[in-house]
């Protein structure tokens, strides 16, 4: 497998699950994105761009910023939803071997360039560490909790027991729902503001034989996963769509500059400006379009204060946001929000 060929992408299985969760929450925005269309998500060999998936995570977080969206999604996600990766976790001789194999083949579900996993053993505990990319803080927290919960829910299914982790470490501050998170994880031994994210299982739990184990099946599935990865292909996007996806990602990551975006597209700033001109647009016009789209969406679909929205879309203060909304819509932010939700009145 040439890992670089799928760097910056995730499996259609993962994208399909998260888009489905978003649809269940009553938000259908991802269908407008070219690489999240139904025909793409229905192709198990398709690889969706990571920036597109991060935009889905942003929408999920916005459905209710207080919700532990990652772990809650996995409570409703059956084994098999993530394709062959799910079965790698459930069919090895022991949980130790199954989880190790699943970590080695994390590319079968996620972005190998963004998701960093490490297995550690000390004779008493089996630990999986996790780190993700430099997205917005709320998205990073959602992805981190999703990843830790992913290993826990799959370990529970594989063992046929309601395994409780020996301990969990999380780099973020305690959420308002820390007690709910403890219930979902089955332990109070959750340490926040930690130096890294991790979930640890007791040695007795990971060494016990798995009930669904069949000799050699784990190796067969690992070879199948490698073949699927070799045959998978990123979804091709028109150049301008690809540019807009990269621009939106840079915007979210507070890395918005012509030079930074050009670097992500493997071209010089001058070449990028020329390509934009060939497509009938400009750098300044595209940046303004991203700001407009994100600001209006936040006004219409969230209850975030204007100060928070101004910060998110790069305006110095609320007055600048008000002037921009008046220029775009001919009305105030309050009027835009009220038109989207008459009850907000």
Distance CA 136, CA 163 (A): 32
pTM of the predicted structure, to 2 decimals = 0.81
**pLDDT at res. 3:** 56
Distance CA 51, CA 10 (A): 10
**pLDDT at res. 344:** 46
Quote the distance between the C-alpha of residue 161 and its chain's center: 28
> In this structure, are residues 167 and 191 in contact, taking their beta carbons and an 8 Å threshold?
yes
Distance CA 43, CA 32 (A): 17
**pLDDT at res. 31:** 47
Residue ranges of the chain whose pLDDT lies below 50: 1, 31, 342, 344-345
Neighbours of 119 (CB within 10 A): 14
Task: List the domains of the chain with CATH numbers.
Answer: 3-233 (3.90.1520), 239-344 (1.10.10.60)
Distance CA 94, CA 190 (A): 25
Q: If DSSP codes are grouped into helix, strand and coil, which group holds residue 341? A: coil
Distance CA 345, CA 327 (A): 22
**DSSP H helical ranges for the chain:** 3-6, 12-24, 38-41, 50-63, 69-75, 84-90, 95-104, 137-159, 178-185, 203-207, 217-231, 239-252, 258-264, 269-278, 283-301, 306-312, 318-329, 333-340
**pLDDT at res. 29:** 54
**pLDDT at res. 341:** 62
DSSP state of 134: S
């Amino acid at each position: 497998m040439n890992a670089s060929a799928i760097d910056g992408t995730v499996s259609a299985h993962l994208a399909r699950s998260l888009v489905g969760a978003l649809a269940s929450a009553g938000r259908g925005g991802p269908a407008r994105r070219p690489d999240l269309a139904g025909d793409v998500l229905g192709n198990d060999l398709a690889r969706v761009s990571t920036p597109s998936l991060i935009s889905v995570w942003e929408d999920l977080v916005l459905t209710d910023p207080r919700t532990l969206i990652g772990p809650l999604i996995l409570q409703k996600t059956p084994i098999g939803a993530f394709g062959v990766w799910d079965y790698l976790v459930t069919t090895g001789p022991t949980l130790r071997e199954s989880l190790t194999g699943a970590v080695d083949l994390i590319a079968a579900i996620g972005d190998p360039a963004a998701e960093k996993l490490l297995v550690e053993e000390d004779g008493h505990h089996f630990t999986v560490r996790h780190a993700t990319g430099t997205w917005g803080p709320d998205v990073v927290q959602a992805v981190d909790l999703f990843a830790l919960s992913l290993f826990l829910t799959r370990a529970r299914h594989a063992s046929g027991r309601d395994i409780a982790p020996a301990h969990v470490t999380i780099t973020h501050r305690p959420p308002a729902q820390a007690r709910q998170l403890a219930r979902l994880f089955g332990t109070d031994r959750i340490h926040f503001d930690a130096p890294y994210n991790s979930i640890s299982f007791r040695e007795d739990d990971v060494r016990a034989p798995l009930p669904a184990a069949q000799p050699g099946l784990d190796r067969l599935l690992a070879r199948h996963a490698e073949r699927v990865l070799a045959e998978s292909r990123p979804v091709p996007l028109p150049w301008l769509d690809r540019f807009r996806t990269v621009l939106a990602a840079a915007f979210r990551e507070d890395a918005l500059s012509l030079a930074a975006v050009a670097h992500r597209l493997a071209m010089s700033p001058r070449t990028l400006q020329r390509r934009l001109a060939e497509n009938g647009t400009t750098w300044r016009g595209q940046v303004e379009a991203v700001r407009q789209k994100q600001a209006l969406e936040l006004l219409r679909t969230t209850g975030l204060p204007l100060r928070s929205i101004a910060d998110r879309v790069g305006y110095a203060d609320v007055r600048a946001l008000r002037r921009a909304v008046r220029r775009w819509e001919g009305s105030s932010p309050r009027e835009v929000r009220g038109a989207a939700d008459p009850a907000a009145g």
